[in-house]
Amino acid sequence: MAEIMGLGTTHAPTLWKLPEEMTSSLRRTLAGKNLAAHMRDPRNWPEGMRVEWADDCGTAAGREYNRRCFAATRELRARLDAFKPDLVIIYGDDQYENFVEDIVPPFCIYIVDEMHSLPYAAGPASPKPRPNVWNEPGDASFKHNGNSRAGRYLINYLRDQEIHMPYAYRLRYQNGLAHSFINTLLFLDPDRKGFDYPVVPIHINCYGGDLIRQRGGTKAPTDVDEEPDPSAPSAAACFDIGRAIGRAMAASPWRTAIIGSASWGHGFLTEKNHWL
């Protein structure tokens, strides 16, 4: 039986922003038209939020956030290197990047051998290149190896378990990997020593119908028809898929690290908090 290691980390884009830019999404929400008037006043915010906002719009808190988070990702990378995996599976979501109006699968496994990504280039969430804590240029390109054999094996194994998984042979997004995957890889290589482990990205549509209506969070919410847009796959479905993938990799020839990648939260999808 092959060995499996599990890790979890964030893909929150705020982590690679400059400290003074970490609250840019919050400032954009504050300036938008969807926020209730009383929520524009920091005195009405939770105490912890007020403390971090302080009198510098969160810049000092951003520096501490950066320090703590990269200390954590360095520890994760050390554990990954000590495990010496043959393969790294990353679970992540796609926020109006590779999957848009023409198809939005609940899950998708990539069958690719090489991936090229431009994480700082202009894209759906930003009309221009974005500065970052590494001072890397907007056209910085990152190459990561995939493993098409492992992708095909995994899909075939799941098929034999009557789990028919969507799959893709290429990245459609102009910037390559969706940010949940490329950010995870950037954060696990904070000192830029390279990341040579073959990666199999597995997409999960965690947004559901909000993905298209809000264009991945780049547009304001719109009225919903009486018949709502399709939801994200249920927690039970995700659990069953994850358990089946665990069985597949345990029966495989590959020593596998499985990484769950997530953001801290997607408040801009939460109407009861005025998308704050």
Residue 249 forms part of a structural domain: yes
Digit-coded pLDDT (tens) for 232-249: 899 999 999 999 999 999
H/E segment holding residue 62: helix 59-83
Q: Is the pLDDT of residue 273 over 70?
A: yes
Residue 70 forms part of a structural domain: no
Please state which of the ranges 12-21, 118-127, 179-188 shows the lowest mean pLDDT. 118-127
Digit-coded pLDDT (tens) for 195-207: 999 999 999 998 7
Residue 58 forms part of a structural domain: no
| Sign of the CA dihedral running 8, 13, 14, 18 | positive
Residue 79 forms part of a structural domain: no
Residue 217 forms part of a structural domain: yes
Mean pLDDT, range 266-273, rounded to an integer:
72
Residue 57 forms part of a structural domain: no
pLDDT at site 129: 84
Q: Which two tokens stand for residue 62?
A: 């951003």
Q: How many domains does the chain have?
A: 1
pTM: 0.91
Return mean pLDDT, the chain.
90
Report the greatest alpha carbon distance in the chain: 58
Residue 220 forms part of a structural domain: yes
- Alpha-carbon distance values, 34 to 165, 177, 207, 253, 274 (Å): 38, 31, 20, 52, 7
Residue 71 forms part of a structural domain: no
- Which CATH number does the domain housing residue 250 bear? 3.40.830.10
Domain of 165 in residue numbering reads as 4-15+85-273
Digit-coded pLDDT (tens) for 71-94: 999 999 999 999 999 999 999 998
